[in-house]
Chain A
Amino acid sequence: MSPRLAILAVATLCALSACSSPTATAQAGAVLKIKDPGNAGPLAYAKKNGILEKRLAQVGAKVEWGGTYASFTATIDAVRSGSVNVLEGAISPALGYLANGRDIKIFSITDRVVDPAAPKTDGLVVPADSPVKDVKELVGKRIAVNKGGRGEYLLLLALERAGVRPDQVTRVYLNPDQAASAFATGKVDAWWAIVRAYPEAVAKGARVLVHSNDLPDQDLSIQAARVELLEKHPEAVRVYLDVLRELTAQAKTEPDAFQNVFLAQGPTALSGARLKEELDKSRYALPPRPATAADLTYVKDVAGVFHRYGVLPASVNPSDVIFDLRASS
Chain B
Amino acid sequence: MTTLTSAEPVTGLEEPRFLGVRHRPAALSVAIRASVPLLLLAAWWYGSASGAIPSDVLAAPSQVVGALGELAATGQLADYLLASAHRAGLGVLLGGGAGLLLGVVAGLSALGEELVDPTMQMKRAVPFLALVPLFISWFGVEESFKVVLIAVAAAGPMYAYTYLGVRGVDRKLVEAARGFGLKGPRLALGVIIPTALPSILMALRVSLSVALTGLIAAEQIGATEGIGYLVTLAQQYYRSDYMVLCVVVYAVLGLVIDLAIRGAEKASMPWRR
Contact = CB atoms under 8 A, between A and B. Distances in A.
Given A70-B236, A177-B238, A265 B70 contact: yes
Contacts, number: 118
Interface string A24-56: 000000000001100000000000000000000
B108 interface: no
B76 A266 contact: yes
Interface stretch (B13-21, B141-149, B173-181): B141-149
Given A19-B144, A266-B71, A7 B238 contact: no
B38 to A, nearest CB: 27
Contacts of A204: 56
Interface string B47-75: 00000000011000000000100110110
Interface string A1-24: 100110110110011001111100
Contacts of A185: 57
A1 B189 contact: yes
B213 interface: no
A35 B189 CA distance: 47
B235 A177 contact: yes
A67 interface: yes
A67 B226 CA distance: 11
Contacts of B140: 21, 78, 81-83
Interface in A238-274: 263, 265-269
Contact of A19 (B148, B224, B230, B236): B148
A196 B237 contact: yes
Given A4-B189, A266-B70, A266-B71, A67 B222 contact: yes
Interface residues of A, number: 43
Interface string A51-94: 00000000000000011111000100110111110000000000
B164 interface: no
Majority secondary structure, B binding face: helix
Contacts of A66: 141, 222, 224
A83 B57 CA distance: 36
B233 interface: yes
B89 to A, nearest CB: 10
A68 B143 contact: no
Given A21-B140, A69-B220, A81-B136, A267 B233 contact: yes
A69 B221 contact: yes
A35 B142 CA distance: 12
A125 B145 CA distance: 39
Interface in B19-55: none
B234 A267 contact: yes
Contact of B232 (A21, A70, A81, A184): A70
A220 interface: no
A177 B236 contact: yes
A151 to B, nearest CB: 15
Contacts of A265: 70, 73-74
Interface stretch (B90-98, B110-118, B247-255, B259-267): B90-98
16 contacts: A1-B189, A14-B94, A21-B143, A21-B145, A67-B229, A68-B233, A68-B236, A77-B133, A81-B141, A83-B142, A177-B236, A184-B56, A266-B70, A266-B74, A266-B76, A267-B71
- The 5 A-B pairs with the shortest beta carbon distances in the complex, nearest first, are A67-B222, A1-B189, A177-B235, A70-B220, A21-B144
Interface of B: 56-57, 67, 70-71, 73-74, 76, 90, 93-94, 97, 101, 133, 136-137, 139-145, 147-148, 185-186, 189-190, 193, 220-224, 229-230, 232-239, 242
